[in-house]
Structure 1
Amino acid sequence: MPFLQSLRRLSDAVNQVAIVLCVACVLIMLGISFTAFLYKLATGSSLSWTYSLARLFLPWIGFLSMTISLRYGEHVAMTLLVRSLPRAMLQLAAGLCLAVIGLFGALLLWYGWDYFLGASQVYMVSDRIQIPGKFTAIVVPISGAIILLHLVQGFALLEHFIDDESAIDELIETIDTDTIDTEKRA
C-alpha cells in the first residue's frame, strides 16, 4: 500500500502541475490577444502573427483540462442511471468505466506517441516565428500518461461513489460553522 499511496501523491502533484500549465497557457493566450488589441489601438494596423501564435496553446488547454476534470470526477457520466443500479452492478459498472478510461488513456499514449514522432511540420507563425509541430503534438501522449496515472485513484475518480448524504451534511456543517463564527464576531 505505501507504493499505491506514493503513486496517488504523484497523481495529485501531476494534477497540480497540469492546473498550473493550463492557467499559464490561458494567460499567455490572453497576453498575446491583449498585445494585439493594444497594437491595433496604437497603430491602427494589426499584427499578423498573434492569432496563429495564440491558437497553438489551445491543444494544451484542451488536453490538460481533460486530465484535470478526470481527476476531480467531472467527466461525462450517466450518474442517475448508474446510481439506480444495485450495489453489485454499480461496482461492475464503475469497474467497466475505469477500464474504458484506462483504454482511452492507453490509446492516447500509444497513438499520440506515433503522432508526436511523425509531427514534422513547422508552424509558420510569422516569417521570424516558426514553431515545430512537435510542440502541440507532445500534449497527446502526455495527457494519455496522466490519465493512466490518475487511474491509481480508483473509484474516487467516479462521482457514482460520492455519498450524497455525507456531502450534504458536510456542507450544512460548514455553513453552520461559518454562521456561528460570523455571529461571534458581531
Structure 2
Amino acid sequence: MITGERVRMRALEPSDAETLWRWHNDPEVMRWMSDGYPPSLAHLTKELSERAADTFGDLTLIIETLEGRTIGIVALREAEPEVGDARLDIYLGEKDTWGKGYATEAMRLICRYGFGQMRLHRITLTAVAQNTAARRVYEKVGFVEEGRMREAFRRDGVWHDKVVMGLLEGELR
C-alpha cells in the first residue's frame, strides 16, 4: 500500500467491480477517456476475479481516501526496465472529489513510487488537449508537454488533439 497525507493506493480487488462499473457508465467521468463500450458488471467482476497479479511492467492501483472511500484508479503501464520508461493513467471516478487535490497527491505518490521503487527514469502520459483540469494537475506535479497528436480523439462527433506529456526523474514537484 502506498500512503500519503490524504490518499492511499492499494491493489485492485474483485469487490471493486461495482464501483468501476458505475464510473465506466457515467458519461461525465468518461468524458475525456477512450472508454470503448461500457463493460457489464458481470464481465468486470469476472475480469477482476481472474486478473493476474501486478508486475513491474503493469501496476494498477485503487485510490482511496485515508478513511477508506474508493475515489479513483491509477496505473503505471508498459514499464520497461531496459529503458526506464512507463506510461501513466489516472482518473477520479467520484465527481465530488474533483478539484480538491486528491489527484495531485495520487500523481505525486505514484510518480515517486515509479522513480524510487521501479527505478524508472521517465514517465509519460497522454491527455486530450481540451481536458484542461487534468492537464493542470499534470503540470502541477512537473509534467511538460512534449508533443501533440492531431485529431487523435473523437467525442460527440468532434475530433480533438491529444498532448503527450513527460516527467523525468528529478523533475517531480
- TM normalised by structure 2 equals 0.22
- TM normalised by structure 1 equals 0.21
Indicate the structure whose relative CO is greater, using CA pairs within 8 Å and at least 6 residues apart: 1
Q: For the pair shown, which has the larger CA radius of gyration, 1 or 2? A: 1
